[in-house]
Structure 1
Amino acid sequence: MSQNSHITIEEGSTNVYADLGYADAAEMQRKSQLAAEIARAIKARRLTQQGAAALLEIDQSKISRITRGQFRGVSEAKLLELVAKLGHDVKIVVGPVRRRAGKIELQFA
């Protein structure tokens, strides 16, 4: 690089999917977090993909796709179910009504 070259760096948000322009960015981020937790839980339990598939009662190929971050076509509800089957408690809290649209967020203990 020459001394006259300039590199422009743009700071992103906390949601890479929003930065990339996805219309469903918030949902994609939540699903990504759930998929990552599924992968962590499978690793922590030292399960093979076949063992995880048997425990979770889904195809091994679907486990493979989810743990590689390919979760399009898998609902948030299904991902939450898989997290629960891997031993996590899942708690959904509905808060008070507000004058603006509510938000959905995940917390991992």
Structure 2
Amino acid sequence: MYSFEYGTSNVYVQLGFADAEEIPLKAQIVRDITARIRAAGLTLSEAAAVLGTSQSDLVLALCGKFQSFRAGELRGWLDRLNFPLLLKYR
């Protein structure tokens, strides 16, 4: 017979990740960053220049490997992707 154990709704806490509380927040921010990059029609190179980061760091974050980034840093990227500011890059 099966036995079920209920825990928190955050699977990362159950798996023991050190930054478990921030992972869903970071994922949401990265999702918003991706949407803004696509909406602006930026290439990865252009987006990295706008964000003030390397293209390799941007690719890591967009691929979900954002554990080395702080949520505040990702929020800063999101703020830099305000559409009026992007016009100067096009």
Structure 1 unmatched ranges of 5 or more: 1-5, 89-109
Residue number among 21, 24, 31 corresponding to 1:26 in the alignment: 21
| 2:66 counterpart residue number | 71
| 2:39 counterpart residue number | 44
Q: Structure 1 residue runs of 4+, over 6 Å off? A: 6-12
With normalisation by structure 1, the TM-score equals 0.63
CA separation in 2, counterparts of 1:69 and 1:13?
22
Q: Deviations over 1:43-96 (max 9, x none)?
A: 1111110010111111001111111111111111110100100118xxxxxxxx
CA separation in 2, counterparts of 1:46 and 1:12?
41
Structure with the larger RCO, 1 or 2 (CA within 8 Å, 6+ apart): 2
Query: Percent identity, aligned pairs only?
Result: 34
CA separation in 2, counterparts of 1:23 and 1:58?
25
Q: Which amino acid aligns with 1:60?
A: Q
Q: Which amino acid aligns with 1:55?
A: V
CA separation in 2, counterparts of 1:37 and 1:12?
28
Contact 1:42 1:86 in 2 (8 A): yes
Superposition RMSD on alpha carbons, in Å? 2.4
Pairs aligned (count):
83
CA separation in 2, counterparts of 1:23 and 1:50?
31
Larger Rg: 1
Q: Secondary structure at the match of 1:58?
A: coil
